[in-house]
Amino acid sequence: MDQAGEMRQRALDIQRMATEAQAEVVSEEGEVRVVSAPGGRVKELDLRLNAFQLSGVELGELIVETLHAADAKVTAELTAAITRSMSGVDTLLGEGEEA
């Protein structure tokens, strides 16, 4: 595959990764479970029975905390996957070669 073709394929791979990426986080005591996608999109939010033993304020804070943790996790995992995918791009672009 030529350089342009390989770059196009990498771009398609990154687009696919961004579309398919998701991360699951469960709160420490298991009350809240969140599955998040890039950009802060919430795919799933589950409240377990023990969540309803918390006050409204406590539950709200726990939901937000769990959402933030899931968002951070999916962002970190996607960033790592893109970084791995982009390894060697400087070689493809001819950087480091003398003209």
Domain spans, the chain? 3-84
For residue 92, pLDDT over 80 is answered with no
Closest CA to 22 of 48, 40, 7: 40
- How far is it, in rounded angstroms, from Cα 18 to Cα 38? 7
Residue with the larger pLDDT of the pair 54 and 87: 54
C-alpha distances out from residue 99 to 7, 92, 94, 96, Å: 21, 15, 10, 9
Q: What pLDDT score does 67 carry?
A: 97
Pick the CATH number of 3-84 from 3.40.50.720, 3.30.565.10, 3.40.640.10, 3.30.1310.10: 3.30.1310.10
Which tokens is 92 given?
A: 């493809």
Q: What is the pTM of this model?
A: 0.79
pLDDT category at 5 given cuts 50, 70, 90 is confident
For residue 99, pLDDT over 80 is answered with no
Which tokens is 99 given?
A: 């003209």
pLDDT, tens digit, for every residue of 31-82? 999 999 999 999 999 999 999 999 999 999 999 999 999 999 999 999 999 8
Return phi, psi of residue 23, to 5°: -140, 145
